């Protein structure tokens, strides 16, 4: 399913295909500019595969769970990275309780666990809490 981006001018929901999530666009209703995605995107298995495979920019994936205290500590850092690198990277959040098949596919044994993809391929993965500067370095290296 395409992601929805709400227009800040007219409030219309605009469907954005996975390959264009990192791009600016125009509202289909009022033609106002739509900025690139600047928030982490919660994904399920089908969204995950489509976004990772179709993205034109590096993708940081945060594997997390609601009960995980370090994951909650990482969440604001992940959000900052999504905002700071809008247009140059995408950030996905995978709840390992709701999408265990994705976590299993990438051998996630401890959370938080971060993975960076480029062109649909895993280029880096690390478990454990890190700050936004480390995440930014991973994404810049993958670019």
Chain segment 79-128, per-residue pLDDT in tens = 999 999 999 999 999 999 999 999 999 999 999 999 999 999 999 999 99
> Mean of the pLDDT values across residues 6-11?
93
Same domain, 49 and 93: yes
Q: What is the mean pLDDT of the chain?
A: 95
> Same domain, yes or no, for 58 and 111?
yes
pLDDT of 76 strictly over 90: yes
Per-residue pLDDT at 1 exceeds 80: no
Q: How many domains does the chain have?
A: 2
Residue 100 and residue 104: Cα distance in Å, rounded? 6
The residues pairing with 61 across neighbouring beta strands, listed in sequence order, are: 92, 115
Q: Which tokens go with 27?
A: 């509202």
Q: Are 85 and 59 spatial neighbours (Cβ–Cβ below 8 Å)?
A: no
pLDDT score of 112? 98
45 and 10 housed in the same domain: no
Domain that holds residue 11: 3-34
What would the two tokens of residue 57 be?
A: 């920019």
Respond yes or no: is residue 71 known to be catalytic: yes
> Which of the four pLDDT bands, split at 50, 70 and 90, describes residue 2?
confident
Considering the domain architecture, whether residues 30 and 58 belong to the same structural domain is answered as no
In the structure, what pLDDT confidence band is assigned to residue 3 with cuts at 50, 70 and 90?
confident
pLDDT of residue 115: 98
Q: Does residue 53 share a domain with residue 104?
A: yes
**21 & 46 share domain:** no
Q: Pick the catalytic residue: 7, 10, 27, 71?
A: 71
| Of 90, 121, 125, 88, the residue nearest 110 (C-alpha) | 125
């Amino acid at each position: 399913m395409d992601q929805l981006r709400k227009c800040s001018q007219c409030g219309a929901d605009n469907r954005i295909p996975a390959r264009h999530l990192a791009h600016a666009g125009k509202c289909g209703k009022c033609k106002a500019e739509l900025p690139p995605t600047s928030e982490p995107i919660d994904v399920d298995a089908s969204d995950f595969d489509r976004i990772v495979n179709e993205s034109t920019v590096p993708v940081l994936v945060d594997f997390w769970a609601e009960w995980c205290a370090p994951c909650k500590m990482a969440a604001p850092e992940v959000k900052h990275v999504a905002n700071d690198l809008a247009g140059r990277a995408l950030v996905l959040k995978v709840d390992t309780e709701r999408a265990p098949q994705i976590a299993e596919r990438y051998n996630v044994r401890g959370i938080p666990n971060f993975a960076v993809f480029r062109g649909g391929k895993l280029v880096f993965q690390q478990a454990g809490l890190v700050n936004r500067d480390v995440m930014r370095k991973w994404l810049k290296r993958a670019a």
